[in-house]
Chains A and B, each alone.
Chain A
Amino acid sequence: MIMFWATLLAVSILLYVLLDGFDLGVGILFGMTGSETRRSAMLAAVAPNWDGNETWLVVTAVILWGAFPVAYAGLLPAFYLPLLVMLAGLILRGVAFEYRNKTERMRWIWDLSFAGGSFAAAFIQGLTVGALVEGLPWANGHYAGGDFGWFTPYAALCGIGLCLGYALLGASWLVKKCDGDVREAAYRLLPYLSAGLLIFLIVVFIYSLSEHLEVMDMWFERPYLFVFPMIGAMAAVLLAFSVRYRWDEVPYLMVTVIFLCAFGTLALSFWPYMIPFVLTIEESAAPQSSLAFMFWGEGLFVFPLMLFYTAISYSVFRGKVRSAPRNY
């Protein structure tokens, strides 16, 4: 039961990162272009799906609460201020979808909140992961770092890294969904973003080695983990080819594979901890009666159904969104 929910938690986080990752990434890229034609095409590429994508964040939060209440109660207050910033970002970018089309004069407010909110949310998510990898200040069974105990240069670096990663996902999504100008611009960005991400990964790796992060021990104990970077590297090569030869469908897939590898590496190097080195998955799990109640209903039946809705909604909106000149 515990394993089932740990797996589902991992799947939900992964789906969140892959799906909301591209629309947050599009949000970040949105801030880097000034043209209204491009902007509206970029929004169009994510508008029908962003809400469903963000649902996976809530799914993650409630699985954590329902199945691992000790981890939920331990982690959330630890990241009090970062989560506040993330929620503020998600709110502002969420309403921007509805609001920006209702105004001409004040559109800049919502454009700013869409780009800024996307960036803030992505940065905080990366920062959180970084802080967890580095290890949170912990005493007597709870967080003991004060208001800013989560902030370290390493965590901030991971925040920037995830922004790059999401921007990469976003660019590869635009290549897949858009035409013309937007597609070209995204293709031009892809090499820079990939190079940026690669540099980030190298820096993180060196830093982790030099700081003797405990996570690194996990790596040397479990050498099979190196499979992931290998697969990731192959995906990166294919990504380069697909950019070179303009295979529109391929970049998003390859970036997905790279994310999968990064995620697999992280998940397995956290194992068996929920909060690294202070709380294991077993220790944080809810009583059997809670896990079973969740399993027999939502786990067994509703979860597949949710995947099915998600698939329906993506299949209804498959294909390219064209950035035609606006007729006014």
Chain B
Amino acid sequence: MDTTALLLSRIQFAFTISFHIIFPAFSIGLAAWLTILEALHLKTGRPAYRVLFEFWLKIFGVAFGLGVVSGVVMAFQFGTNWSVLSKMSGPIQGPLLSYETFTAFALEASFFGVLLFGRSRVPAWFYLFSTAMVALGTTLSAFWIMVNNTWMQVPVGYVVQNGVFVPDDWTKIVLNPVVWVRFPHMMLAAYLTGAFCVAATGAWYLLRNKYHAEARIMLGMGLFLAAVLVPIQIFFGHLAGDYVHEYQRPKFAAIEGRWHDEQPAGEVLIAIPDPAAETNNFEIKIPVLGSLIASMSFTSKEVGLTDFPPQDRPPVVIPFFTFRIMVGCGLIMLAIAWLGSYLSLRNRIERNRFVLWLVFLSFPLPFIAVLTGWYTAEVGRQPWVVYGVLRTADAMTPFLTAREAGVSLVVFCAIYALIFSFGIFYINRLLRAGPAGHLIEPASAAVPNRPMSVAHHALSSGTSYIDDGESP
């Protein structure tokens, strides 16, 4: 086996999956937000909701498109680069991912078409239904992905026959209690991502003194939702830590930066781990708190990394820091959400430019938290691809060459850089253009069978308002 090819394949997987997760994290939350907006519009008839819907639908379109195209890559990458994994765990991971495709993708794709082009072709209730179906699709997709990844973290319900993982209890696999911690953790992360992006957009418009009605709705709804969800998220994060403590002790020790057994164990707040010397430099540590967090006890013994042979230990530095970054983002989000909601309730937020700036600048936080959370989970799982039973190094396609892996890595990096930078550029333009104060109506004119083409609709609804202004 080619170790360069292995390294390149790992980098490629990390890169493509990191790129991919940004968009689902954003679009799961946005889909739910769109459903709420459409429902509110149907119920109250307030035009502001409709304006917001049309506005966010365009942004959703770009994010969803990027999520779809980068997701297709994932369906192939398991096979091209990790054929041993595909073959061995195919009987379990294959069916799980096929459930994802069957239950989610077809639903999303079909109803998303209705969302973009069908407003005037279907009754209002069906349009709302389509929006809800897209949201349901994104949720189902997340669910199956979490079941699949959880099986890789905590494999259950299988026996090994002829070198293949043969499922013998699907209820254990799908109803694994760990799934029901990690799936909500991911969903909450996605909702928070949506909430912060929406609130930040509202704050930005208020700072620029524009679109007051819409901005106030965005800011209020985003902040209140976040204020409620962040604490719940922290609780689920704690539960996620419990499963790591129970099933993945080396990962837990790496996250904690604990090299040796301690009783009672301290909690390292921050340090620079030194894997060569198996110790931490510049450590700030709170005594006993480690035992309390890990085992809810003042006296428990917590294991250190040196209990495990070096070949079974995960890399320490990455999970140690990514975990702390994730938690840090979470705490900052909590502070911003509560402060913002408090001021919002007292009607003081619009005059408080400092807090508006804070909220506006907070939008990268949930993305960073999602990414670093996943890095903690996935890097911490190493050196295993299926925890405890299949090593990453043994999972690669045996005849993959460094040349092939190198070419594909370069191609994916180049293409993703291109589509990502344009995606951000266009989303930024859509945001700058803002929600129009008036409803654009080519939606009805766009019905095929009428003398205006769908393309023109796609054009006018897809173009920013600035461009529309240029074309009378």
Contact = CB atoms under 8 A, between A and B. Distances in A.
A263 B207 CA distance: 60
Contacts of A293: 95, 167, 170
A144 interface: yes
Contacts of B71: 58
B90 A69 contact: yes
A162 interface: no
A76 B99 contact: no
Nearest to B83: A73
Interface string A303-328: 10110011011001101111110111
A81 interface: yes
Contacts, number: 274
Contacts of A289: 91, 166-168, 170
A130 B107 CA distance: 33
Contacts of A70: 87, 90
Contact of B90 (A58, A73, A104, A177): A73
Interface string B417-431: 001001100100110
A72 B90 contact: yes
Contacts of B81: 77
Given A142-B399, A298-B103, A319-B448, A88 B86 contact: no
A297 B92 CA distance: 15
Nearest to A75: B79
Contacts of A63: 98
Nearest to B464: A102
A290 interface: yes
Contacts of B96: 66
A87 B95 CA distance: 22
B458 interface: yes
B98 A77 contact: no
Nearest to A66: B94
A95 B66 contact: yes
Contacts of B459: 40, 101, 326
Interface residues of B, number: 88
Interface stretch (B113-121, B187-195, B332-340): B113-121
Interface in A103-128: 103-104
Contacts of B93: 65
A52 B106 contact: yes
Nearest to B460: A101
A101 B448 contact: no
Contact of B113 (A52, A74, A90, A298): A52
Interface stretch (A41-49, A208-216, A239-247): A41-49
Q: Report whether over half of chain B's contact residues are helix, strand or loop; otherwise say mixed.
A: helix
Nearest to B73: A87
Contacts of A199: none
B452 A322 contact: yes
B325 interface: no
A97 B419 CA distance: 12
A152 B281 CA distance: 59
A61 B167 contact: no
Given A55-B105, A309-B110, A101 B453 contact: no
A162 B369 CA distance: 45
A245 to B, nearest CB: 23
Contacts of B118: 48, 316-317
Interface in B156-181: 161, 164, 166-168, 170
A43 B455 contact: yes
Contact of A69 (B87, B111, B112): B87
Enumerate the 7 nearest inter-chain pairs by beta-carbon distance, A residue then B residue, closest first: A69-B90, A76-B79, A66-B94, A44-B455, A40-B455, A101-B462, A73-B87
Given A81-B404, A87-B73, A287-B166, 9 more contacts: A47-B117, A48-B117, A65-B86, A76-B80, A95-B419, A289-B166, A305-B106, A312-B110, A328-B471
Interface of B: 61-62, 65-66, 68-73, 75-76, 78-81, 83-84, 86-87, 90-103, 105-107, 109-114, 116-118, 121-122, 161, 164, 166-168, 170, 397-401, 403-404, 407-408, 411, 415, 419, 422-423, 426, 429-430, 448-456, 458-459, 462-464, 467, 471-472
7 contacts: A40-B459, A47-B116, A62-B98, A290-B90, A290-B166, A294-B95, A313-B114
